[in-house]
Amino acid sequence: MQVKASPATILPSVDALLRRPEIASAVLEYGRSLVVQELRDALDRLRATLGEGAAVADRDAAAVVVERQALVRLQDWAAPPLRKIFNLSGTVLHTNLGRAPLPPEAIAAMAAASDACNLEYDLQTGGRGERDDHVIGLICRLTGAEDAVVVNNNAAAVLLALNSLANRRDVLVSRGELVEIGGAFRIPDVMARAGARRREVGTTNRTHLSDFAGAIGPRTAAIMKVHASNYAISGFTAEVPEPELAALARERGIPFLNDLGSGSLVDLERYGLPHEPTPMEALRAGADLVTFSGDKLLGGPQAGLVVGKAALIAKLRKNPLKRALRVDKLIMAALAAVLRLYLDPARLAARLPSLRRLTRPEAEIRAAAERVAAALSARCAARVAVSIVSCASQIGSGSRPVDLLPSAAVALRVPGGRALAGLAKAFRQLPIPVIGRLHDGALLFDLRCLEDEAGFISQLDRLARD
């Protein structure tokens, strides 16, 4: 029979709890102060439930409850919030899943820079250096640009470019290019925050050179083009070719900005992939400034790059916003390491993880799917129907969603939608969470991005046990 005792008599003291062996080892692991705090919180919670009429058999039982709760909370505090996952979603550069995977060269460079380093220090002269100088030479060599600046992401690059060149003045942009990238990046909003007045020209589906020419006035600061990253306008359409826009801008003495978004540093068609505009092409087509991301197709850390005319880049560099948007030493180190890989194009697809995954041959993916399907069947065939299906991977991160890469997936089917959601959750709860996608009544694992196959398979036993 359970005795209803008053909280005062049944609750163990913190000192008594600290003498329990598991709590004592928790003190060694997490430190005394955090453990004591969690014990007090757990005691408070138990006291509250006792007050509401809940019953605990005796002081020992109460100690067990408090200990268990405190240990769970302590483990939560200790767990790193960002964890490695298997991205089998089928989207290679997935913004929610951390975009580009970094190569070991970038990790090593970040480790080297993590202590004191020559971030803004010139080792030759012993004087002050510029942080962007670590990558400007590389960027200019790879893109053919005169000069470059690096900021926190491409949104920052666009913000900095517009604010530096068009604060309180007009920027012409086609109505077909006022895009939303997702994650709250909308071109009209960024223009407004940059202080630029948006002057829309043309229509959603058709914009002509004459629309731009007619809109240029004394307050026009720039013409802006935005790459249609994540959508396609088809049917009765017209856009102005970049060289014509560039010629118009030059004739009227205003800069022409081209926001590429992704901006691959290599011609993806060479690898049999859909074409994505490159900064080199955009500069050759006459852009004065080109903006693009570091962690999209470039395959590096989160960063925004602006390349182009030296006189304009100088204005960006002088803008106080540059200081607020600058990158830190770890990003700078990683970016330099990734850019260096581009100096050896012959080995790039093998060394840069994002490109390696994008160019992985379908036959190789299918062979991996067969091995993984066999491993999955061996462990959970009783509950789950396992098959191999053809699927299409997306490049992701603002590459055109209509450009799909043929791939292969392992499809898991269970009777009932609830069960399928439960299955997806079980995979998410593995030590290295597995993220697939639900499609057509199945949980799909697109194997394009699975490089550590042994690691994936070795944790499946845990799934079967649970």
What residue ranges bind ligand PLP (CB under 6 A)?
153-155, 158, 181, 185, 226-227, 229, 259, 261-262, 293, 304, 398
Are the C-beta atoms of 206 and 257 separated by less than 8 Å?
no
Least gap, CB of 364 to ligand PLP (angstroms):
29
Closer CB to ligand PLP, residue 93 or residue 450? 93
Distance CA 202, CA 211 (A): 6
Least gap, CB of 93 to ligand PLP (angstroms):
10
Query: Which residue's Cβ lies closest to ligand PLP?
Result: 261
Least gap, CB of 152 to ligand PLP (angstroms):
8
Query: How many other CB atoms sit within 10 Å of the CB of residue 12?
Result: 22
Closer CB to ligand PLP, residue 56 or residue 331? 331
Closer CB to ligand PLP, residue 90 or residue 396? 396
Least gap, CB of 347 to ligand PLP (angstroms):
26
Least gap, CB of 438 to ligand PLP (angstroms):
25
**Which amino acid would we find at residue 146?**
E
Closer CB to ligand PLP, residue 132 or residue 259? 259
Least gap, CB of 202 to ligand PLP (angstroms):
18
Closer CB to ligand PLP, residue 282 or residue 435? 282
Closer CB to ligand PLP, residue 158 or residue 162? 158
Closer CB to ligand PLP, residue 12 or residue 398? 398
Least gap, CB of 271 to ligand PLP (angstroms):
20
